[in-house]
Homo-oligomer: A and B are copies of this chain.
Amino acid sequence: MTQAKHSSTITEMVNVTFQKSIGTGGECVGTVPAGSTLLQAAIAAGVHLQSACGGKGTCGKCRVILSPEDRTGPLPEEKKFLRDELSANGVVLACKRVVESDMDVFLIEQKDVFDRKTQLGQENKVYELAPLVRKHFVCISVPSTSDQRSDWERLVAELPKSETPLRFNRRIAAKLPRILREASFQVTVVTAGDELLAVEPGDTSAGSYGLAIDIGTTTVVVYLINIVEGRIVARGALTNPQQGAGADVLSRIAYAADHPAGLNQLQTQVVGGLNQIISDLCQEERIKPEEIYQAVVVGNTTMSHLFLGIDPTYLAPAPFIPGFRQSVTVKASELGLRILSDGAVTVLPIVAGYVGSDTVGVMLSGQADQLEGNHLLVDIGTNGEIVLVGKGRILSCSTAAGPAFEGAGIKHGMRAADGAIERVKITEDIELGIIGKENEKVRGICGSGLIDAVSEMHRAGIIDSGGRMISSEDDLEKLPTSLRERVLYENGSREFVLAWKEESAAGENITITQKDIRGLQLAKGAVLAGVRILLSHLGLKTEDLDMIHLAGAFGNYISKESALGIGLLPQVSLDKIQSIGNAAGNGAQMALLSTDAMERSNRLARDAEHIELSTEKIFQDEFLESLALGQSY
């Protein structure tokens, strides 16, 4: 007899109830083994806390409020991120707090960027309206002993030759005999290419809807589109519910790779978020989910993999290999997307591990294959994707810009939501533009505000070209008093106060730290280095550029002057920079409304050359040269 070397104990399960703020109602319960963190409980409950570091305790974002009876004072790790007042009010970091028994936790309410971001969709008039999904109202010949063809055959016989042969659809064939007879053989047949999507009684050809979906690492946006009229009916957006697994794609990939059901969980989360938007849109517009026949999806390569439930593990390490790159179409039911269960869900093609279908959407929307001259298309988010069109070629690359542009990793960084500083102008004193209502209290700084602030601080002499904040008494003396007072020395490092605690919602100074500036330098340096390398591949110089197209919400809100001021973009004249709106989402809309555009997206993805920056010998040099603030070469 051998003796067991270890004893196994049965782990007790505990329930954590997450309460929304008083007044708004609603609660979610997460059941986890005792000893789990509150962040794990939040994930189990489907509650989406911000978590830029994926639970490592280094971002300080995953804040929740404990019930009075559970408060025990701040942990040492929390003191770095939470002021004493916050701790006194029960605010803790969910990733640091362990659950031992059932408890109630309150969520911190947060208004978000949604309304703002979704304003950017533009109706597209470039392609002729010719969606993949078609409706045919047909009157089918009634069976007789002299015409004993099957129901399937007599249905198909009424369709245009271009729609046949139609692939057999068992689920529809199963009910077809009854549908035809109950509808007196007058039905509307819905097809998508060679797939039969639905057979509906009577003439329903007037109503037909599709979705264009843009899955961002941070935000998911859904456009509900009337595909008969080619018109956006409504839009909705939500924070990507995968936040619990980290704010950036590498954290998400690690989560999927390291947790047994991680991939499935992330897939379910993002589809769950989309379903919530779809359900809201359907209620508002009084349409049935079954009237939505198609969805076209764009996203970065990781988001595309997670949406389809495809293992993203090998996207993370070199050589960054995706599971698939081609355009992929699956049935909605296979993904759990709550539109018509046989609805055609198409994810646009991918160029490379870090140049995803969102960039293909940008190329499609920006008509990269039709542009004359030399053009840069830049989509800046956590990653910066850069496309250079010129000399009959299309080059693309991706730079790991880091989360600074999204306000993450920045001491007072936040997304572009109410209370965010989005504009900074430094004269004798400081003028701030705050998102939200008049007299909105300041809550933090979003990406465009950060770029403005650093550009202005550099222009005002508060930061040198190397990015160092002034420290010598001599240099400080040169600043106007109102500015000089704003340069603080705290915790062994300089900070610059944008808003004093009296103006702040949380009662704390909102500052730019030396570390924040370094973060921004790294981010913008990566983008600029990418641009420089693409230019050098085509033998082009800055002055050869005819236009820089800025895609995405960021491109809409960034100040061109500040972008040039910090040296984020090569030094062109202001009239050569234009925003092209939410180009990724527009590309998805185009592909939804036009099979031509869909086909062109495949050609673009196939023809675009990918430059892997990590293997470029000159990248390191270019990167170091690109770090300097001020006008780039």
Contact = CB atoms under 8 A, between A and B. Distances in A.
Interface of A: 143-153, 168, 170, 173-178, 181, 263, 308-311, 313-314, 318-326, 328-330, 334, 350, 352-353, 610, 612, 614-615
Given A143-B321, A148-B321, A168-B324, A314 B353 contact: no
A319 B170 contact: no
A152 B314 CA distance: 13
A435 to B, nearest CB: 39
Contacts of A323: 150-152, 173-174, 176-177
Contact of A148 (B148, B174, B176, B610): B610
A321 B151 contact: yes
Contacts of A149: 321, 325
Given A181-B314, A314-B177, A170 B309 contact: yes
A254 to B, nearest CB: 15
Pick the 10 closest A-B CB pairs, nearest first: A152-B324, A150-B325, A145-B319, A150-B322, A143-B321, A145-B615, A177-B311, A174-B310, A177-B314, A150-B324
A184 B322 CA distance: 17
Nearest to A178: B311
Given A148-B353, A319-B148, A325 B153 contact: yes
22 contacts: A145-B319, A145-B320, A148-B321, A148-B352, A150-B321, A150-B323, A150-B324, A151-B314, A151-B323, A152-B323, A153-B325, A168-B324, A168-B329, A168-B330, A170-B328, A173-B308, A173-B324, A173-B328, A174-B309, A176-B323, A177-B314, A178-B313
A148 B320 contact: yes
Contacts of A173: 308, 310, 323-324, 328
Contacts of A308: 170, 173-174
Nearest to A147: B319
A334 B170 contact: yes
A176 B174 CA distance: 33
Given A168-B329, A174-B309, 14 more contacts: A143-B321, A145-B615, A148-B320, A150-B321, A150-B324, A150-B326, A153-B324, A168-B324, A168-B328, A170-B310, A173-B323, A174-B263, A176-B310, A181-B314
Contacts of A177: 310-311, 313-314, 321, 323
A563 B352 CA distance: 72
A150 B353 CA distance: 9
Nearest to A153: B325
> Could you say which of A153, A170, A330 has the most chain B C-beta atoms within 10 Å of its C-beta?
A170
A151 B322 CA distance: 7
